[in-house]
């Protein structure tokens, strides 16, 4: 860890390690690499979509520095994430049909189905409003996903997440729901709606297409699959009121298939995946633990789950579609816990690197993006190499008190002055805090139990066949159209990719 800097700013010269010739050489090398980058326009046999939930541009930047400093680089800012190495980068506009700032539900609809929807709804058209059960069940109001398009083309499919597998982001692959919170039947009943008429998310995953045909399902959320009269292997009571054990049902549906259910990391790593065609892994009652707690809870890393999925899916000669979500980036941001948000981003990036290393650029399109941004800022005048988690300096602050480089606009990190002075509007002095601690909550300006999302664009990184289609600024709903075009699995009647793709056979 880098030494804690003094509050008095010291201007230093970096010519010893980064002179003008160094920057000129790096610029020339970068240009040469871009010029030599091949533009691939052959059919994508495989599609991998990575979504870093809540991974704002500031999250990418801060995580890059965080990684560089913890790897012992001279300063840290010169660090690099694996997603940074992707040759094509664009931007995604994330707003909902009805909300200016997106939630993970409407954004999931956009990047899976190719149409924007209303906030809190998933896999349904804008004609379906929040908790409109009747419209949800109308097939005319349901939007099909790229996962279904892949299945219709004979491809294997998988969903991997560190949240519950019935959470807002992954459920856009297979569900049509008017309330993202309807992960089980009791949640529907609590809304005053008959769960016998309105199918919950877990039921749709187990009983309906395309959920029924998904080969690999890995993540958390075990309690949404079990009756409330039982407990799971960790002693947590189930959440279902209909008495259904959906885990047993899932296995029973595939009695003549090579299907396996695993509960923990040890079971996953011990399974001979060469003998498995269908894999269900529910590793936690709710979401999988943060990266620093996964080993003690027997939870797999995102990279380990991704590796398992790839081993199974890659056997299909027709190719595969795989969705991988780093879901707890968002949850750490909601808690104003910058350390864990960045640690989760690094684990997400490790999964991206693993997938890139185990596939070929010639036949696999990898797209990395985020569902929405977060109110997470990088500010101040810190010196190069200042620990990204530390104080930014206070010599120019009118009250003489420090602030951290990383902060939030709102959330539970809010700390008023003690006592508060309405005349001076003074703030709490945090100079005795330890912002480098993993549990530290960065200061926010407005008190809230959970930080809100932000509405600015998020990045899209792409590599592989037709990756150049992901440059520019696009609506989020553009993403599945471009991916489907690359693989020639577009569901539209006039499938223009078949005549445009140079090697589509």
Name the helix (H) or strand (E) containing 261: strand 259-262
In this predicted structure, the answer to whether residue 16 has a pLDDT above a threshold of 80 is no
What is the β-pairing status of strands 259-262 and 320-326?
A: unpaired
Whether the Cβ atoms of residue 85 and residue 467 lie closer than 8 Å to each other? no
Instruction: Give the helix/strand (H/E) hosting 217.
Output: strand 216-220
- Is the predicted pLDDT of residue 67 greater than 50, yes or no? yes
- Judged against a pLDDT cut of 70, whether residue 4 lies above it is answered with no
Q: Is pLDDT above 50 for 6?
A: no
Q: Kindly report the average pLDDT of the chain as a whole number.
A: 93
For the annotated binding site for Mg(2+), the residues are: 53, 167, 169, 325
pLDDT higher at 204 or 396: 204
Give residue 494's pLDDT. Answer: 52
Q: Are the beta carbons of 451 and 408 closer than 8 angstroms?
A: yes
Say whether pLDDT at 15 is over 60: no
The answer to whether residue 104 is catalytic is yes
The mean pLDDT of 289-302, rounded to a whole number, is: 97
Q: Where in the chain is the domain with CATH 3.40.720.10?
A: 46-375+452-500
Q: Which residues pair with residue 377 across a beta bridge?
A: 407
The whole-angstrom separation of Cα 298 and Cα 294 is 6
> Could you identify the residue written with the tokens 């009756």?
227
> Which one is catalytic: 56, 104, 392, 444?
104
Q: What integer pLDDT is reported at residue 27 of this predicted model?
A: 93
Q: How many CA atoms lie within 13 A of 412 on its CB side?
A: 13
- CB-CB contact of 473 with 457 (8 Å): yes
CATH fold of the domain at 46-375+452-500? Alkaline Phosphatase, subunit A (3.40.720)
Annotated binding site: 53, 167, 169, 325, 330, 334, 371-372, 453
Q: Which residues are annotated as a binding site for Zn(2+)?
A: 53, 330, 334, 371-372, 453
289 token code pair: 């633990």
CA-to-CA distance for 159 and 175, rounded, in angstroms? 13
pTM: 0.95
> What 3-state DSSP class applies to 140?
helix
Residue with tokens 């890059």: 64
Nearest to 170 by CA among 181, 180, 182, 159: 159
User: pLDDT tens for residues 306-317?
Assistant: 999 999 999 999
User: Does the pLDDT value for residue 421 go beyond 80?
Assistant: no
Question: Under 8 Å CB-to-CB from 271, ≥6 apart: which residues?
Answer: 260, 262, 279, 308
- Residues 123-161: pLDDT tens digits? 999 999 999 999 999 999 999 999 999 999 999 999 999
Terminal CA-CA length for the chain: 52
Q: What percent of the chain has pLDDT over 90?
A: 86
Which two tokens mark 154?
């004979």
CA gap 172, 205 in Å, rounded: 11
Q: Is the dihedral of CA 461, 465, 470, 475 positive or negative?
A: negative
């Amino acid at each position: 860890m880098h030494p804690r800097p003094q509050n008095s700013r010291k201007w230093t010269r970096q010519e010893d390690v980064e002179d003008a010739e160094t920057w000129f050489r790096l610029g020339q090398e970068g240009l040469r690499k871009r010029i030599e980058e091949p533009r691939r326009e052959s059919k994508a046999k495989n599609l991998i979509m990575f979504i870093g939930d809540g991974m704002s541009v500031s999250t990418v930047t801060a995580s890059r520095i965080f990684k560089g400093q913890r790897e012992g680089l001279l300063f840290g800012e010169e660090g690099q994430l694996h997603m940074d190495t992707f040759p094509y980068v664009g931007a995604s506009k994330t707003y909902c049909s009805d909300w200016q700032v997106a939630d993970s539900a409407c954004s999931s609809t956009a990047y899976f189905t190719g149409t924007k929807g209303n906030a809190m709804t998933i896999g349904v058209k804008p004609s379906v409003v929040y908790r409109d059960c009747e419209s949800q069940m109308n097939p005319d109001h349901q939007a099909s996903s790229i996962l279904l398009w892949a299945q219709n083309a004979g491809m294997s499919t998988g969903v991997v997440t560190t949240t519950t597998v019935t959470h807002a982001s992954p459920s856009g692959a297979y569900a049509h729901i008017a309330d993202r919170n309807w992960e089980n039947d009791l949640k529907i009943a609590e809304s005053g709606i008959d769960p016998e008429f309105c199918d919950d998310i877990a039921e749709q995953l187990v009983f309906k297409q395309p959920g029924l045909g998904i080969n690999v399902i890995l993540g958390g959320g075990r309690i949404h699959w079990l009756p409330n009269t039982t407990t799971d292997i960790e002693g947590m009571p189930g959440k279902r009121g209909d008495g259904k054990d959906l885990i047993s049902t899932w296995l029973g549906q595939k009695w003549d298939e090579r299907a396996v259910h695993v509960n923990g990391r040890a079971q996953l790593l011990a399974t001979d995946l060469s003998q498995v065609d269908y894999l269900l892994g529910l590793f936690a009652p709710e979401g999988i633990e943060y990266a620093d707690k996964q080993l003690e809870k027997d939870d797999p890393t995102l990279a380990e789950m991704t590796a398992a999925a790839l081993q199974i899916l890659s056997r299909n000669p027709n190719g595969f579609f795989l969705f991988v979500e780093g879901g707890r980036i968002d949850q750490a941001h909601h808690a104003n816990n910058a350390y864990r948000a960045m640690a989760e981003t690094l684990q997400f990036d490790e999964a991206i690197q693993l997938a890139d290393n185990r596939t070929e650029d010639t036949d696999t399109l990898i797209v990395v993006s985020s569902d929405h941004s977060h109110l997470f800022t990088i500010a101040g005048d810190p010196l190069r190499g200042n620990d990204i988690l530390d104080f930014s300096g206070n010599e120019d602050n009118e009250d003489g008190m420090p602030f951290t480089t990383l902060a939030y606009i709102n959330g539970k990190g809010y700390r008023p002055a003690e006592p508060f002075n309405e005349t001076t509007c003074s703030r709490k002095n945090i100079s005795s805090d330890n912002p480098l601690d993993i549990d530290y909550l960065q200061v926010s300006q407005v008190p809230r139990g959970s930080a809100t999302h932000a509405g600015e664009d998020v990045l899209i990184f792409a590599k592989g066949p037709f990756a150049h289609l992901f440059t520019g600024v696009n609506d989020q709903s553009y993403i599945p159209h471009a991916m489907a075009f690359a693989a020639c699995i577009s569901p539209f009647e006039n499938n223009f990719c078949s005549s445009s793709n140079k090697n589509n056979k």
